[in-house]
Chain A
Amino acid sequence: MPTEPASKEKKQEEEGLSREEETRLIERSRGGDLRAYDELVRHFQQRVYSTVYNMTSNHEDAADLTQETFVKAYQSLKSFKGQSGFYTWVYRIAVNKTINFLKKHRKRKHTSLNDVDSNIERDPDFVALVSTDTPRRDVKLTELQKKLNEALQTLSEKHRLVVVLHDIDGLPHEEIARITKSNVGTVRSRLFYARQQLQAALSDYLQS
């Protein structure tokens, strides 16, 4: 069932944070200023949550892992050297936590999917999908959502990660390589393999 997006949260996310502001907030947070850290959290939590959610396909797990990520990041702020952006650093913590979590709970296949916001009806990609002459012309939103999540869960954690970071979050290969501490070639090859798997799993939706 589509729901309206939380506009306040969306605005917070869209408001930019300059490098100077980010550095200032980090310095204040290091000094124990929790209001400064709260500002940092509010700025990045949505993106971190979204990535973790797309990796786990489970809202409760994503919420817990995002919380753990920011608590861990606060406790480790002294080790943050500023060589990469704060966002990349926090992302790395989130990704490591999520992969460890998924490895521990590999046998559990419990999904808890979020609602789809009503804006999807105006998304040109979705409009194209339901209007083109495909075998899935009568596609139902909930069914499509379920199929997408199931297809992602068939991938290994490493392959799922590059697909989520690149095709859903829109990060460039170089940024993904920094986050996963691997090289660009590895990112590209994992992406290629993961797409092959997904194409097979979602073939009904990709035929024209």
Chain B
Amino acid sequence: MKNENTDEKLRRLLALKKHEIPPPGFHDQLSSRIMDQIRREEQEVGFAPAIRRFFQQFELTPATLGMAGAAACAILLVALNQNPPQGAPVPAPAPSVATTTEIGTTLGELPMLAESPLLATNNTHTSAPSFLFDTPSLQTERASFKGE
């Protein structure tokens, strides 16, 4: 009995919320806003219906974003785990420090240094100038076994 009484009082109290009303003229403005948005969206749909319909299928929710992220990770992992095709040349690592030869080449391209004996090396530049690193070369002779 007491509960019913309290329920009824509560219902009456809550019913007072019906008296909360928006500013005058609000509903007229609202329906105009609704119609404007519908017209605007119809125009947009007219421009790119296929693209719009495609993206309308996806509502950005945490679940869809998570699924998209998981799919991207899966594709990346599969791509990384793929064996390189057999017989494919292994690319040489790029040198991190320029070699003496390369420096020589670069300097040799400068006009004032091109004539310098310091840079007088052959075009292939496979070795450093001999006078810079004058190390005695080992004289070797083919062994012969006369007794045989």
Sample 13 A-B pairs with CB under 8 A, ordered by A number.
Answer: A6-B26, A37-B35, A41-B35, A50-B18, A75-B41, A114-B23, A116-B19, A120-B16, A123-B19, A128-B12, A168-B15, A199-B6, A205-B9
Interface centre among B21, B26, B30, B41 (most CB of A within 10 A): B21
Indicate whether A145 reaches chain B with its CB closer than 8 angstroms: yes
B22: contacting residue among A59, A145, A163, CB under 8 A: A59
Contacts of B19 in A (CB 8 A): 116-117, 119-120, 123, 126
In the complex, the answer to whether A206 meets B31 with C-beta atoms within 8 Å is: no
In the complex, the answer to whether B31 meets A45 with C-beta atoms within 8 Å is: yes
**Number of chain B interface residues as a range:** 20 to 34
Contacts of B15 in A (CB 8 A): 125, 167-168
Main secondary structure of the interface of B (DSSP, over half): helix
Indicate whether B39 reaches chain A with its CB closer than 8 angstroms: yes
Q: Give A67-107 as 1s and 0s: 1 = Cβ < 8 Å from B's Cβ atoms.
A: 10011001100000000000000000000000000000000
Q: Give A113-153 as 1s and 0s: 1 = Cβ < 8 Å from B's Cβ atoms.
A: 11111011001011011000000000000001100110000
Please list the residues of chain B having a beta carbon within 8 angstroms of any beta carbon in chain A.
5-7, 9-28, 30-31, 33-35, 37-39, 41
Please list the residues of chain A having a beta carbon within 8 angstroms of any beta carbon in chain B.
3-6, 8-9, 12, 34, 37-38, 41-42, 45-46, 49-50, 53-54, 59, 63, 66-67, 70-71, 74-75, 113-117, 119-120, 123, 125-126, 128-129, 144-145, 148-149, 163, 167-168, 195, 198-199, 202, 205-206, 208
A-B pairs, top 5 by smallest CB distance, nearest first, are A125-B12, A120-B19, A167-B14, A6-B24, A114-B20
In the complex, the answer to whether A34 meets B6 with C-beta atoms within 8 Å is: no
Contacts of A119 in B (CB 8 A): 19
* B69 nearest CB across to chain A (Å): 19
In the complex, the answer to whether A195 meets B16 with C-beta atoms within 8 Å is: no
In the complex, the answer to whether A145 meets B7 with C-beta atoms within 8 Å is: no
In the bound assembly, the distance between CA atoms of A63 and B23 in angstroms comes to 11
In the complex, the answer to whether A168 meets B37 with C-beta atoms within 8 Å is: no
